[in-house]
């Protein structure tokens, strides 16, 4: 079955450490997105990519980085510059403006 | 700037009741509106997608309507069940691959 796989499900980061969240899709979607979800707030866009080897900053890109070397993969790195990284991270994919989004199951990142 | 608001933030109803969740947006220039369901600690599951040219979409006990001129969408759930308990989010797709999400309505259906 087609879908989006995020890993790991839970991730713990020490202060000053970079961590990478994985997102893989087999839906053949061109566009992929990373969102951050905090309690009581709507999803906020971190980065998005419309095609391979191209990506754009979203509303809260500071302290994060991404790459898009393959159509299927869009990993997100949370760097030590992100001062408040504890949150639920969601990856999504889509194709064309007339179509909706498909989401992965999320990664919960906690700073320890 | 597009803003999406969902009211109420939380709702508790007895099993079997029909209910309506509301989503309002400030800019009527949208491509589509999508309703999602989110269970605790899980990702978002798409329920219904309404294109800007459509007035409503139906899936089983769910019916979503769209009124662009008034900036409103409603999600109607018929004969609610305890399994419907979740957070429901609406998302408005604007131009340039931009989508704005509401903060969601947390629904609790009591058995």
What is the structure's pLDDT at A96?
73
The verdict on a CB contact (< 8 Å) between B97 and A99 is no
pLDDT (tens digit per residue) in B50-67: 999 999 999 999 999 999
Structure tokens at B21: 């969740």
B50-80 as b/e, with b when 16 or more CB fall inside 10 Å?
bbbeeeebeeeebbbbbebeebebbbebeeb
pLDDT (tens digit per residue) in B52-107: 999 999 999 999 999 999 999 999 999 999 999 999 999 999 876 789 999 999 99
Using a CB-CB cut-off of 8 Å, the residues of chain A touching B46 are: 100-103
Mean pLDDT of chain B: 95
pLDDT (tens digit per residue) in B16-39: 999 999 999 999 999 999 999 999
What band does A1 get if pLDDT is binned at 50, 70 and 90?
low
Sequence length of chain B is 111
Q: Which of A43, A94, A106 shows the shortest C-beta gap to B101?
A: A43
Structure tokens at B28: 């009527």
The verdict on a CB contact (< 8 Å) between A102 and B46 is yes
The percentage of chain B sitting over the pLDDT mark of 70, rounded to a whole number, equals 99
pLDDT (tens digit per residue) in A55-107: 999 999 999 999 999 999 999 999 988 889 999 999 999 987 677 899 999 99
What is the structure's pLDDT at B98?
81
What is the structure's pLDDT at A9?
96
The verdict on a CB contact (< 8 Å) between A105 and B36 is no
Residue A2 has pLDDT above 70, yes or no: yes
| Residue A81 CB burial class (10 angstroms; 0-12, 13-18, ≥19) | exposed
A60: helix, coil or strand?
coil
Residue B1 has pLDDT above 90, yes or no: no
What is the structure's pLDDT at A83?
87
């Amino acid at each position: 079955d087609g879908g989006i796989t995020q890993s790991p499900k839970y991730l713990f980061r020490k202060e000053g450490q970079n961590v990478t969240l994985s997102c893989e899709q087999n839906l053949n979607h061109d566009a992929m997105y990373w969102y951050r979800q905090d309690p009581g707030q709507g999803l906020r866009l971190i980065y998005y990519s419309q095609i391979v080897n191209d990506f754009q900053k979203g509303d809260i890109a500071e302290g994060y980085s991404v790459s898009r070397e393959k159509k299927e993969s869009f990993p997100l790195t949370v760097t030590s510059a992100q001062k408040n990284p504890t949150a639920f991270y969601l990856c999504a994919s889509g194709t064309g403006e007339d179509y909706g989004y498909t989401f992965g199951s999320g990664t919960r990142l906690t700073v320890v | 700037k597009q803003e999406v608001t969902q009211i109420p933030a939380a709702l508790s109803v007895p099993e079997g009741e029909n209910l309506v969740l509301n989503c309002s947006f400030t800019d009527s220039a949208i491509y589509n509106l999508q309703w999602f369901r989110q269970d605790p600690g899980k990702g978002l599951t798409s329920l219904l997608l309404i294109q800007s040219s459509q007035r409503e979409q139906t899936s089983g006990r769910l019916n979503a309507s769209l009124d662009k001129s008034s900036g409103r969408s409603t999600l109607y759930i018929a004969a609610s069940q305890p399994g419907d308990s979740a957070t429901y989010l609406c998302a408005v797709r604007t131009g340039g691959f931009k989508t704005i999400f509401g903060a969601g309505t947390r629904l609790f259906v009591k058995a």
